[in-house]
Chain A
Amino acid sequence: MLTITMAIFIPFLAAIFIPSIYKGIPRVNIGWFVLIIPVTLFIMLARNISAIAAGETYIQTIPWIPSAGIYFTTYLDGLSMIFGLLITGVGSLVILYSIYYLSARESLAHFYVYLLLFMGAMLGVVFSDNMMVLYVFWELTSISSFLLIAFWYHRKQSRYGAQKSLLITVTGGIAMLAGFLMLYAMTGSFSIRENIASVGELTGEALFLPALLLVLVGAFTKSAQFPFHIWLPDAMEAPTPVSAYLHSATMVKAGIYIVARFTPVFGGEPVWFYAVSAVGIFTLFWGSLNAVRQTDLKALLAYSTISQLGLVMSLFGLGSAALHAGYSANSVLYTQATFAALFHLVNHSTFKGALFMMVGIVDLNVGTRDVRRLGGLMSLMPFTFTIAVIGSFSMAGLPPFNGFLSKEMFFEAMLTLRHLEFFSIGTWGTWFPVIAWIASVFTFVYSMIIVFQTFLGEHQPDRLDRKAHEAPPGMLIAPSILALLVVTIFFFPNIIGQYLLRPAMASIYPSLAGEMELAPRILAWHGKVDTPLLMTGGVVILGIILYRLLQYWRNIYEIGPFRWNLDALYNGMLSFAERSSSLLTNFYMTGDLRNYLSYIFAFFLLAVGGSLWFTGGFSFDMSNDAPIALNEYILVFVMAAACVLMLFVRSRITAILLNGVLGYSIALFFVFFRAPDLALTQIVVETVTTGLFLACFYFLPEWKREKSAQPTKIFNGLIAVSAGVVVTVIALSVQGNKMFESISVYFENAYDLAGGKNIVNTILGDFRAFDTMLEVVVLFIAGIGVYTLVKLKAKKEERDVED
C-alpha cells in the first residue's frame, strides 16, 4: 500500500515548506498548519485499524540499493500500527499544546521543522521492514531529538543535555547497526520478516549471540535503560512539548519497539530473556527510587519515565519465555506478559503525556517547577489539578484509571515467574515479583508527590516568579483529551485489547498466532480478591505511610550506592576523550600550511614511490613515441626555463608573466597535440587568470625574499625534486606498460550516440555530463565564495550564549 510509504514522507515534505509558510503568513500561528499533518496521518492510519485487526498486513517495496540488499520496504502490521497511532496521535496533541505553550517570539519555524523531521523519522522506524532503512531513520530520530533538546541553545544545560543524549543514543545505534550487519551475514537478508522466517536455523551460529547483545544495546540506550538512562533527565532541558512527545511517548519507546520487533528472532534465547527482563526490572526499581528524591517536577517525570520503560521492558522479557516454551498451557501465561507490556505502553503514553503537559502548564504559569516552591495551586488551577490527579493516580496504579489495569496485569505476569521451570531460573523467580512490588511502592510515592506537593499544602506566592492562574482553555485541550482517554480506557479496555493489542500480539508471536487466543479479556475485577489486587492494596498502604514519613527517610539518598554517579563517569569519559584527542590533534595539526603539504607529499612519495620501488614496476618503452619537431624542442626548453626562472625572479610581476608564458606555451602544445578545444579554452583562461592575478597584486605587497633558514630550504628542495622524479618515473612507466586497450574508441560513435561531431564536446555535454554539471557547480561555488569573501565583512556580534 503506497500510503504507508507516503505516511513516512509526508512529514519530511511538509518540513520543507514550513519555513516559507512561516514567513509568508506571519499572522497565523504556524502550528495550525503543522497540526494538519499528524491529524491527517492519524485518520489515515485509523481507517486501517479494522483491516489490521482482521489479520491483514500491508507491505510495499521500492528498490533502493538492490545490489546491497537494501529495499525501501514499508510494512504495516499490528505492532507498527500501535506505534504509528501513538506517534501521530500524541503528535497531534503535542502540536496543539505547543501552539499555546511556545510564545510567538520563539523561532517556531525551526521548532516545527525539527518536530516534523522527528515525526517522519519515527514513522520510518516503525514502518520499515529493511534493517538498513530502519537504522537510517533510527539515527534520524536521535538527530532530531538532539536538535529539539538544544532548541534553547543559548542555555548551557540545553547544549549539554543535547550532546549527552546524542552521544549515548548514537553509540547505541552504531552497536545496533553492527548487530544488523551480523544478522545480514547470517541470513543474507536485511528484511526483518525474512529474518524472522529463518529463525530456527540461526540459533547455532557463532554470530547469533553477539548480534543479539548488540541489538539490545541499541534498544537499551534509546529506551533509557540502566545504565544508559542518564541521558533522559538531562534531555528534560527541551521545551515541555518535546519532553512529552519524544522523551516520554514516542522516541524512548523506539527501543521497546525494537525489542518487541526482534522478539520472534531472538526471543527463544535464555540470554535474551535474562537480559531484557533483568535490565527492565532493575531499571524499574532504580528509576522509581531516584524519582522520589527529585525536586524538579520534570526531572521527577524523567525518572518516572525511565522506571515505566523498565516495567514495559521487563514484561517483554518475560513474554519472550513463551517462544521458548512453544505451544503449551504455560506459554499462554507468558504471552500475557507481552500483552500487559503492550497495554501498559499505550497507557503510559496517555497518562505520562498528560502529566508532562500539566507540568508544562504549571511551569509556564508560575515560573518554576520546583516542588519545594510549589503548593496550594488546587484552588487557583482546578482544571490542571484534575489532570494531575488523573495522570498521577493512573501512574500509581489506582482505579478507575487505565494504569490500574496494566499494573494488575504486570503483577500477575511477575507472579507467573514462580512457575517458570526452564532457563534454570530457580529462586530468582521469586525475586522478580518482590522487586516489582517495591518499585511500585516508590512509584506510588512519587505519584503522590506530583499531586500533593504541587497542588495541596501551603500556597507560597512570594516564592513564585508569577502569580498563579488557570491556563488558557486552548492549552488545556490536549491534556484533557489524554486524561479523558485514561478514564475511558479503564472502562472500555477491551476495545483497545481487541483492535490494537491482539494484532500486535500476532506480530510478536507469529508462530503461536494461529494456535491460541493471544488477547485475553481485560477485567478490572476478577471476581475475587486475588494476589495482584492484594499487592496493589499493599502498595497503597505502604505508599501512604512512606509518603507521610518522607522527610524522615529522605536521608538514605545520601548513603552508599546513591552516591555512585554514572553522570560523573560519563563526564569523566567525555573530558578524557576531549583532552586526549585535542592533544593528538595539536601534535600534528600545527596550523602551518607547509607542514600539511609536507605530510601530503611525504605520503605520496612513500606510498607511490615506495610501491613502485618494491614492485619494480619500472619499464620504459620509448619505441612508440611520436617524432619531435624542432619547434617543439624550443617550446619545451622555453617552458622549462620559464618555470625554473620563476623560482629566482625578484619581482612578482615577472613571476606572473612567466606563469603566463607557461600557460600560453601549453595552449600551443594543445594545438600541436590536436586539441583545438583545449587550446582555445587555455588561451582565454590564461588571459583571465593573469588579469585576475594582476588585479589582486594591485592590493598585495611586493613579495619579499624567502626568509626560511637554509636547512628548511634544502628540505623543501629535496621533497620537490623527489616529487618531480616520482611523477616522471610513474608517467614513463605507465607509457611503457599498456595493460589494456583505451576505452576512447567508444566515444568515436559520438555522432550516432549523441548527435554531435565534436567528440570532446559530446563527452562533456552528453557522455559524462555529470562531471560537467558538478564542475559548473564547483565554479559557481567558487564565484559565490569570492563574492562573499569580498563583500561580507565579519561583524562582531553580541553573544547571548552561555559558555
Chain B
Amino acid sequence: MKINDVILQTVTKLVVFIILTFGVELFFSGHNDPGGGFIGGLVLSSALVLLFLVHDIETVEKGIPVDFKKVAAVGVLFVVGTGVGAVLFGASFLSQAFGHFELPVFGSTELATVVLFEAGVAMAVVGTVVTIMLSISEDV
C-alpha cells in the first residue's frame, strides 16, 4: 500500500503524537479513572496502525524496528508472570499487591503490582493488533 499524500502525512505526524500521549495517559489513569491496559493498548495500536496506513510499511519498520509478535509474547509473559510472581511470594495465583510510598518528587504515591499486569495487557494488545494489521497488509 503506497499512498503519497503530503498533507495526510504531515497531519499524521502531529496526530500520532497526540494519540500516543492520549494512550499513555489512558493507560496510567486506568486505576482510578476510565482507562487501563486495554484501552491504552488499543489507542496506542490505533496510532501505530495509522502510521502504517499513511506511510508505507518499509518506512515505518525502519523508524520503529520492533517485532510486534515479540511485543505481544512479552506482554503475555508479563501477565502470566505477575500471577506466578504472586505465587512465589506465597500469595495465591494472580493476587496483586499495592501500597503507598513517599517518593521524592511525586509525594505520597500509590504503587501497585497491577501496573505490571496492565502493562502486560497493553503490550499484548498492541502487539496483537499491529501483528494482525501488518500480516494482512503485507500479504498482497
Chain A residues near B138 (CB, 8 Å)? 790
Chain B residues near A761 (CB, 8 Å)? 30-31, 35-36
The reply to whether A766 and B46 contact each other, CB–CB distance below 8 Å, is: no
Chain B residues 119-140 with CB under 8 Å of chain A are: 120-121, 124-125, 127-129, 131-133, 135-139
Instruction: Please measure, in the bound complex, the distance between the C-alpha atom of A779 and the C-alpha atom of B72, giving whole angstroms.
Output: 9
Chain A residues near B72 (CB, 8 Å)? 780, 783-784
The reply to whether B128 and A780 contact each other, CB–CB distance below 8 Å, is: yes
The reply to whether B36 and A758 contact each other, CB–CB distance below 8 Å, is: yes
Judged by a CB distance under 8 angstroms, whether A513 is at the interface is no
Q: Which residue of B35, B94, B129 contacts A677 across the interface (Cβ within 8 Å)?
A: B35
Q: Which residue of B95, B112, B121 contacts A756 across the interface (Cβ within 8 Å)?
A: B112
Q: Which residue of A754, A758, A776, A787 contacts B135 across the interface (Cβ within 8 Å)?
A: A787
Contact stretch, chosen from A286-294, A543-551, A679-687, A726-734: A679-687
The reply to whether B135 and A676 contact each other, CB–CB distance below 8 Å, is: no
Chain B residues 25-64 with CB under 8 Å of chain A are: 26, 30-39, 42-43, 45-46, 49, 53
Instruction: Please measure, in the bound complex, the distance between the C-alpha atom of A773 and the C-alpha atom of B53, giving whole angstroms.
Output: 30
Judged by a CB distance under 8 angstroms, whether A643 is at the interface is no
Shortest Cβ distance from B44 into A: residue? A684
| Given contact pairs A680-B39, A758-B33, A790 touches B135 in the complex (Cβ within 8 A) | yes
The reply to whether A692 and B31 contact each other, CB–CB distance below 8 Å, is: no
Chain A residues 746-783 with CB under 8 Å of chain B are: 754-758, 761-762, 764-766, 769-770, 772-773, 776-777, 779-780, 782-783
Chain B residues near A756 (CB, 8 Å)? 31-32, 98, 112, 114
Instruction: Please measure, in the bound complex, the distance between the C-alpha atom of A764 and the C-alpha atom of B128, giving whole angstroms.
Output: 19
Instruction: Please measure, in the bound complex, the distance between the C-alpha atom of A405 and the C-alpha atom of B33, giving whole angstroms.
Output: 83
The reply to whether B49 and A688 contact each other, CB–CB distance below 8 Å, is: yes
| Given contact pairs A754-B114, A755-B112, A765-B37, A787 touches B131 in the complex (Cβ within 8 A) | yes
Chain B residues near A773 (CB, 8 Å)? 79-80, 83, 94
Q: Which residue of A677, A757, A777, A791 contacts B36 across the interface (Cβ within 8 Å)?
A: A677
Instruction: Please measure, in the bound complex, the distance between the C-alpha atom of A696 and the C-alpha atom of B99, giving whole angstroms.
Output: 47
The reply to whether A754 and B96 contact each other, CB–CB distance below 8 Å, is: yes
Q: Which residue of B34, B76, B117 contacts A765 across the interface (Cβ within 8 Å)?
A: B117
The reply to whether B34 and A677 contact each other, CB–CB distance below 8 Å, is: yes
Shortest Cβ distance from B115 into A: residue? A765
Chain B residues near A783 (CB, 8 Å)? 69, 72, 127-129, 131-132
Chain A residues 34-87 with CB under 8 Å of chain B are: none
Judged by a CB distance under 8 angstroms, whether A28 is at the interface is no
Judged by a CB distance under 8 angstroms, whether B20 is at the interface is no
| Given contact pairs A696-B136, A782-B128, A791-B135, A765 touches B118 in the complex (Cβ within 8 A) | yes
Judged by a CB distance under 8 angstroms, whether A739 is at the interface is no
The reply to whether B124 and A779 contact each other, CB–CB distance below 8 Å, is: yes
Separation in Å of the A694 CB from the closest CB of chain B? Answer: 10
Judged by a CB distance under 8 angstroms, whether A691 is at the interface is yes
Shortest Cβ distance from A685 into B: residue? B42
Chain A residues 612-648 with CB under 8 Å of chain B are: none
Chain A residues near B36 (CB, 8 Å)? 677, 758, 761, 764-765
Judged by a CB distance under 8 angstroms, whether B16 is at the interface is no
| Given contact pairs A688-B46, A761-B30, A765-B96, A790 touches B136 in the complex (Cβ within 8 A) | yes
Judged by a CB distance under 8 angstroms, whether B24 is at the interface is no
Chain A residues near B137 (CB, 8 Å)? 695
Shortest Cβ distance from A675 into B: residue? B34
Q: Mark A132-161, 1 if CB is under 8 A from B, else 0.
A: 000000000000000000000000000000
The reply to whether B39 and A786 contact each other, CB–CB distance below 8 Å, is: no
Instruction: Please measure, in the bound complex, the distance between the C-alpha atom of A776 and the C-alpha atom of B118, giving whole angstroms.
Output: 11
The reply to whether B45 and A784 contact each other, CB–CB distance below 8 Å, is: no
Chain B residues near A762 (CB, 8 Å)? 31, 114
Chain A residues near B96 (CB, 8 Å)? 754, 765-766, 769
The reply to whether B139 and A790 contact each other, CB–CB distance below 8 Å, is: yes
Shortest Cβ distance from B26 into A: residue? A680
Separation in Å of the A400 CB from the closest CB of chain B? Answer: 59
The reply to whether B39 and A684 contact each other, CB–CB distance below 8 Å, is: yes
Shortest Cβ distance from A782 into B: residue? B128
The reply to whether A776 and B31 contact each other, CB–CB distance below 8 Å, is: no
Instruction: Please measure, in the bound complex, the distance between the C-alpha atom of A789 and the C-alpha atom of B43, giving whole angstroms.
Output: 25
Instruction: Please measure, in the bound complex, the distance between the C-alpha atom of A112 and the C-alpha atom of B37, giving whole angstroms.
Output: 43
Separation in Å of the A681 CB from the closest CB of chain B? Answer: 5
Chain A residues near B83 (CB, 8 Å)? 769-770, 773
Write 21 A-B pairs (CB below 8 A) sorted by A numbering.
A680-B35, A684-B42, A692-B133, A756-B98, A757-B31, A758-B36, A761-B31, A764-B37, A765-B114, A766-B95, A772-B121, A776-B76, A776-B125, A779-B125, A780-B128, A783-B128, A783-B129, A783-B131, A784-B131, A786-B132, A790-B138
| Complex A-B, nearest 7 residue pairs according to Cβ-Cβ distance, in ascending order | A783-B128, A755-B98, A757-B32, A676-B34, A790-B135, A684-B42, A769-B94
Residues of A at under 8 Å CB distance from B? 676-677, 680-681, 684-685, 687-688, 691-692, 695-696, 754-758, 761-762, 764-766, 769-770, 772-773, 776-777, 779-780, 782-784, 786-787, 789-791
With A688-B129, A758-B36, A783-B72 known, 4 other A-B pairs at CB within 8 A are A680-B35, A681-B42, A756-B112, A787-B131
